[in-house]
Structure 1
């Protein structure tokens, strides 16, 4: 999965745009202008909020660079409510986008950590991959 902290939600009319702390270029020039296909899931920061009382919104998802092509999701995603600063936007099943052969320090940003998720005795455990 790929996880991005939400920086802001802006609505000019409809749809809006969610900006996240991350780059839509997926750390590689190979992915410039492409789109994450999986639909992201919003994980609220802090205590769970009652989304049913707030209207749903549609938005694209943009990265944190100032470049127009820095878009993680071009299509309009329906969110159960406005994503807020500090929420996490989780894109499941994105390992194919982040293959080792495409990772580089081209953008002069540290590479994100890799997490290993295992299941033991019915519980999920995670650890940072050190190698």
Structure 2
């Protein structure tokens, strides 16, 4: 946004000064001079470009495009990680083994085991006897 301000209100990092000879842009410690004729021609071309819909909406389009690409990349990356972690289920040989292990774990849910919290001289015979009793309960 171009406006005339006093020196006190000036943004010292980036500002323009105009004279009868041309326009000087001050960026930090650098200065770029453009003759007035060239500056007017460039400004006219800029105004004509901004009348074209593509150039007028370019910044919005670019922001949306970058946002969309980021979302797609994250979705792709998350799906890639998930597949990488679950690739064993895609291998036909390992898939059978994994399903067998899951079935065994599922069957073990209903099995009750002997309480071993009070083990002192617990003979094998008594252990087996307690296990058989608990499996029928």
* Shared fold per TM-score greater than 0.5: no
Question: Relative to total residues, which structure has the larger helix share, 1 or 2?
Answer: 2
Query: In which range does the TM-score fall when normalised by the shorter chain?
Result: under 0.3
TM (norm. structure 1) is: 0.17
TM-score, with structure 2 as normaliser: 0.17
Question: For the pair shown, which has the larger CA radius of gyration, 1 or 2?
Answer: 2
The structure with the greater share of residues assigned to strand is: 1
